[in-house]
Amino acid sequence: MKVFERLSLRDIAILISVATFLVYAQHLGNAFVALDDGILITQNLAVQRFSWWSIKTAFTTYDPELYVPLTIVSYMLEHALFGLKPIVFHTTNLLLHIGSTVLILLTIHRLSGNRLLATLTALLFALHPLQVEAVVWASARKDVLSAFFFLASIYTYVLQRERGERTRYTVSVFAFLLALLSKVSVILLPLVLLLIDWYQGRKFTWPVLREKIPYFLLSVVFGLIAIYGKLGIVDALPLGTNALLALKSSVFYLQKILLPTGLTAIYPQSTPITLASLEFIIPLLIVLGMLIVALLLRNRMRAVSVAILFYFLMLAPSFTTFQKNRYIFFASDRYAYLAVIGMFLLIALFLTPMIQRSAIRSIRWSAGLVATILILTCASLTYAQGFTWKDSIALYENALEHYPESGMAANNLATVLAKMGRTQEAIAMYERAIAVDPRRMEPKINLARIELESGNVDRAIRDLTDVTAALNIQASVRPEEFAAFYFLGEAYEKAGDDAQAIAQFERAVERGPAFAEAHYNLGLAYQKRNRLEEAAEAYVQTIDLDPQYLPALYKLAGIRAEQGSVEEAEELLERVIALDPLYEQAARHLENLRSMETKP
The 10s digit of each residue's pLDDT in 217-248 is 999 999 999 988 877 554 678 899 999 999 99
Instruction: Compute the half-sphere exposure of residue 561: CA atoms within 13 Å on the CB side of its CA.
Output: 20
Which residues neighbour 130 within 8 Å (Cβ) at sequence distance 6 or greater? Answer: 253, 256, 257, 260, 263, 333, 336, 340
Is the separation of the CB atoms in 136 and 24 below 8 Å? yes
27 and 65 co-located in one domain: yes
478 and 519 co-located in one domain: no
Nearest in space to 532 (alpha carbons), one of 556, 551, 550? 556
Pairing of strands 267-268, 327-331: antiparallel
383 and 418 co-located in one domain: no
DSSP 573-598: HHHHHHH-TT-HHHHHHHHHHHHHHH
351 and 452 co-located in one domain: no
Is the separation of the CB atoms in 454 and 492 below 8 Å? no
Return the pLDDT at 166: 84
- Residue numbers in the chain where pLDDT is lower than 70: 1-2, 232-235, 597-600
Which of 459, 475, 500 is the last residue in one of the domains?
Answer: 500
335 and 368 co-located in one domain: yes
265 and 409 co-located in one domain: no
338 and 424 co-located in one domain: no
CA–CA dist 149, 172 (Å, integer): 9
74 and 195 co-located in one domain: yes
Nearest in space to 226 (alpha carbons), one of 58, 386, 68, 435? 68
325 and 409 co-located in one domain: no
Return the pLDDT at 358: 79
- Domain holding 519, by residue range, is 513-600
Return the pLDDT at 49: 80
Count of domains for the chain: 3
Burial class (CB in 10 A: 0-12, 13-18, 19+), 497: middle
Is the separation of the CB atoms in 484 and 471 below 8 Å? yes
Query: Given CA atoms 24, 29, 32, 33 in this order, what sign does their dihedral have?
Result: negative
203 in any annotated domain: yes
Q: Which CATH number characterizes residue 465's domain? A: 1.25.40.10
CA–CA dist 385, 264 (Å, integer): 9
Nearest in space to 184 (alpha carbons), one of 214, 213, 225, 155? 225
Return the pLDDT at 228: 87
373 and 490 co-located in one domain: no
User: What is the amino acid identity at position 356?
Assistant: Q
CA–CA dist 448, 193 (Å, integer): 54
Instruction: Compute the half-sphere exposure of residue 392: CA atoms within 13 Å on the CB side of its CA.
Output: 19
364 and 475 co-located in one domain: no
The SS3 call for residue 486 is helix
User: What is the amino acid identity at position 253?
Assistant: Y
Return the pLDDT at 597: 64
Which residues neighbour 97 within 8 Å (Cβ) at sequence distance 6 or greater? Answer: 20, 24, 126, 131, 134, 135, 144
